[in-house]
Structure 1
Amino acid sequence: MILSNQYATFDWAGSRVEPTPLQAPRLLLVNYPLAEALGMALSDQQWLEVTSGTRLLPDMAPFAQVYAGHQFGGYSPRLGDGRALLLGEVVAPDGQRWDLHLKGAGKTPYSRFGDGRAVLRSSLREYLASEALHHLGIPTTRALCLVGSEEPVYREQVEPGAAVLRVAQSHLRFGHFEYFYYSGEAERIPALLDYLIQTQWPDLSQDQAGYAALFERVVQRTATLIARWQAVGFCHGVMNTDNMSMLGLTLDYGPYGFLDGYNPGHICNHSDHAGRYAYDQQPTVGYWNLQRLAQALSGLVPVESLRQALDGYEYALLSSFSEAMRQKLGLAAWEDEDPALFRDMFNLMAAQQVDYSCWFRRLALLAPEGPVPEPLLALLSDAGAWDDWFGRYQARLAREGRDHGDKVAQMNAVNPKYVLRNHLAQQAIERAERGDMSEAALLLQVLSRPFDEQPEFDYYAAPAPEWAGQICVSCSS
């Protein structure tokens, strides 16, 4: 089940560090279905001990990775796992390899002035979000176990400590390669690329041609990931290069948020004063980050190969997003006028701050002919402004001549009824901080079936209340 930590054999790529046990730990959540899929049949006591840092399983070799990154556009030369440890590797029954990564494990050589701890608020936010995105079909790290503690942790205020055990096929980031490139140790980079090829993409050769193909793969995966974020209205909030996955996974959940009222310039991170990581900037930032990775690989991959791969980013992102929008609007075929239909819809949504998730879900109710359903009209502050658009959209549906039921099924299969709105996460956090995990468990249950009708949980599908706009999430979240 658990192998010795292969990455830890690169003693130059980080530091061996033992986790610092949490004080008075208590088990809060275990992702039992995921544990079963990984072949990890542990008792609750074992989950508690491993995630609290009080016990290591056989062959675990805790290792803090070193990496760098461009943070808000500026280069930070030495970051690394400041509060997390790569514990080991698991090979699941299906043969897939997974990293076990413990966040909140205590100080490491890369903690800088930090305490190496995580708080319950941010740990639960990561657990909820990673599982929510997984069930939406968006590539992501996943949460395996959450442990709380009575240990006080100092942030803007004193908060209860916690640790979350997360898994991913790999936790390699763009920043790993930047670190060795800019620190004058570029000769280390081939070993990391070979490791990624060996563990994830054995179809690639471990040479210049293989490295070029690897970079192209990273470009394509990053583009499609961000297209999926945009389609579902997800804002990451802090797309620094040290938070960008080489596998195109959603990595490091902090000040994330799903759109409530549609605002293309929405900034979910209150630390992002200039709006660098606003919702509508995510595609551009993804490309900028890939350029930084290309620079780090420029000594190993011909510049022309890097450029060609980067040139494919925009097409991959736009084609993926366009296909997603076609699906979201229940269209079976493509017409040249569709981009204008999409653009005009988004302009109207922005002008009236229409709730993003509710809009697409309720749009399925609109038939090719007949009146606009009341649940859809209820989202609009000026329904008259939509008359022309509704007419064009209904005519578009009529031209396809599809069965209305088939169209509804298609739309409901891609437009979630339930997303992790910030106020829902906040309510779960507040109850968890009082020792009650029931709301978090219920929310996870609802979010595990985001596309299904769950009438008993319609509260979770409603537009956000007014007070939700006052919730503040920042890099410390």
Structure 2
Amino acid sequence: MPLPPQDYRPEAALLELGDTFYDAVRPADFPETTLRFRNDRAAGDVGLGTLSDAEWIRHFGRFDPLPGTLPAPLALRYHGHQFRVYNPDIGDGRGFSFAQLRERDGRLLELGTKGSGRTPWSRFGDGRLTLKGGVREVLASEMLEALGVPTSRSLSLIETGEALERGDEPSPTRSAVLVRMSHGHIRIGTFQRLAYERDEDGMRRLVGYVLRNLYGEDSDDPVRLLDLVTTRAATLAGRYMAAGFVHGVLNSDNINVTGESFDYGPWRFVPTWDPAFVAAYFDHAGLYAFGRQPEAIHWDVMQLASSLRLIAESDPMIAVLDTFGDRYQRAVCDAILWRLGVTPKEDAADRALVQAIERALRTSGIGVDRFFFDAFGGALPQDETWAEARAAIIGYAPRKARDHAYWRGEPCAMLIDEVEAIWSAIAEDDDWRPFHGKVAAIRAMGAALA
């Protein structure tokens, strides 16, 4: 990397935690490195947008260290509840934290990988990522960013030239390594590991690290941390619902304490407002169904509180947990009204409007993306199903004009048939045009909604 640009601000805050929190690892030595996606918009926020393609591949396919930041890749240690069953034998099994950087507004960002090779936590896995999985993660993160969901951003996708065997897709299949950017990869499961090991000193160190580096607060108060995470988690749950998104695997090791969605596996977007819609074929009980996601995220936050009991009293944490429902209701109202394109008024009116819209969406069976596209600005359907919602929306002002070119076309959606078609073009003909075209369309929608 040549002389870094002025807005390149490296950090190595993660080292403050000490080597009981992670393992230094070596990245895989891939037979090929073919650049398939580079997110220059995200890279520009941390001074990496000027990298040549060759430099990009060297850093994000071969993992030469970026100057001034982490000297070696670090696989983080954590535990977690997986479908409500506690598992102490997990950690970064096919990824690592690679670098930390400051974005333009000063917030700490971290570059993490997926598919970068085996680590001490790989268990029986090969540490690799399928190219299809990488394509799906780019599409999910781009779509969620456009729809206002706090999410990791896919920075880079590089095809790596290996043939992978997988039981849930045709094999052998192509391989890739993904780099994602987020405000940190500390999970609820990171705290669970310390509670499991009764590591009070480590718990206090982790609480202070998160408050200082990820929330910008000069504090080491575990109750304050729980309060902040509860707000972020409730906001994430509300934004998921407004986006019509089903993550699929909301285990406590998949919930980031910064409230950012990440790690996209069996995700889906709902075609209609169906609370029972499930993304993961293995979620037989519907634990993480569309309508149960707020409950699932609340349960995970409860596991954070349970872990923090190692160093904090229960009563103030219970008081915080009891506010999750109200915080979620405010968050889902704000998120649905934002997507609807109207300006919120006050709690009671907003809640009544959102409840009427949800009832009408369930009853009508209208496509979720179609509805929000047509109704942006407050123009609800005219049939009888929507009478209650039309009455409730009187007096709401549009928050933005429909003057972007996006509104003169068709709604941008990300349903499973289109995802499969995008992948088929790549798998059968190595045709990346539908993929890149979709990313452009998603970003146009994001500009229209922003």
TM above 0.5: yes
Confirm or deny: 8 A CA contact 2:99 2:110 kept in the other structure.
yes
Match of 1:86 among 89, 97, 117: 97
Give the deviation of 1:315 after TM superposition: 0.5
Match of 2:128 in 1: 117
Return the letter of the residue paired with 2:413: V
RMSD (CA atoms): 2.8
Q: CA separation in 1, counterparts of 2:109 and 2:155?
A: 12
List runs of 5+ in structure 1 lacking aligned partners.
373-385, 455-477
Tell me how far 1:166 sits from its aligned partner.
Answer: 0.9
3-state SS of 1:304 partner: helix
The 3 A distance-change label for structure 1 pair 217 and 339 is closer
Contact preservation (8 Å) 1:84, 1:106: yes
Report the count of equivalent residues: 430
Shift of 1:438: 1.6
Q: Check the 8 A contact 1:77/1:183 in 2, yes or no.
A: no
Instruction: Say whether 1:217 aligns with 2:228.
Output: yes
Distance 1:317 1:154 in 2: 41
C-alpha deviation, 1:180, in angstroms: 1.5
Q: Deviations over 1:429-476 (max 9, x none)?
A: 22233422221111111111225679xxxxxxxxxxxxxxxxxxxxxx
Alpha-carbon distance between aligned partners in 2 of 1:154 and 1:173, rounded to the nearest angstrom: 29
Equivalence for 2:426: 432
- Quickly say closer, same or farther: Cα 1:272–1:347, change in 2 above 3 A: same
Superposed, 1:193-232 pairs within 5 Å as: 193-206=207-220, 210-232=221-243
Q: Which residue among 46, 51, 55 is the counterpart of 1:46?
A: 55
d(CA) in 2 for partners of 1:335 and 1:190?
A: 37
SS in 2 for 1:15: strand
Aligned equivalent of 1:376: none
- The SS at the match of 1:271 is coil
Deviations 1:232-265 (A, max 9, x none): 2111110000000100000211111111122111
Mapped pair 1:442 → 2:437: yes
Partner of 2:150: 139
CA separation of 1:332/1:100 partners in 2, compared to 1, >3 Å: closer, same or farther? closer
Q: Is the 8 A contact 2:80 2:253 kept in 1?
A: yes
Equivalent-residue separation in structure 2 for 1:47 and 1:366 (angstroms): 44
Q: CA deviation at 1:48?
A: 1.3
Change (3 A) 1:448 1:196: same
In structure 1, the residue corresponding to 2:178 is in which secondary structure? Answer: strand
Deviates more, 1:287-296 or 1:433-442: 433-442
Alignment correspondent of 1:409: 401
Q: Which amino acid aligns with 2:31?
A: Q
Cα separation, partners in 2 of 1:391 and 1:188, compared to 1, 3 Å? closer
CA deviation profile, 1:53-108 (whole Å, cap 9, x unmatched): 35333453211111010000100012110000111212234433211112111000
CA distance in 2, matches of 1:154, 1:231: 36
With the length of structure 1 as denominator, give the TM-score of the two structures: 0.83
For 2:136, give the aligned amino acid: R
Q: 1:4 offset after TM fit, Å?
A: 6.2
1:364–1:411 CA contact under 8 A, matched in 2: no
Which residue among 21, 39, 45 is the counterpart of 2:29? 21
| Percent identity between the two aligned chains | 27
Q: Given the alignment of the two structures, is residue 323 of structure 1 paired with residue 330 of structure 2, yes or no?
A: no
Greater radius of gyration (CA): 1
Report the 3-state secondary structure (helix = DSSP H, G, I; strand = E; otherwise coil) of the residue aligned with 2:401.
helix
Q: From 40, 44, 49, give the equivalent of 1:36.
A: 44
Letter of the structure 2 residue corresponding to residue 7 of structure 1: L
> What secondary structure, in the 3-state scheme, does the structure 2 residue paired with 1:101 have?
strand
Shift of the 335–396 alpha-carbon distance from structure 1 to 2, 3 Å rule, reads farther
Show structure 2 runs of 5+ residues with no match.
1-7
Give 1:314's aligned residue.
Answer: 325
Distance change (3 Å), C-alpha of 1:78 and 1:3? farther
Name the structure 1 match of 2:14: 7
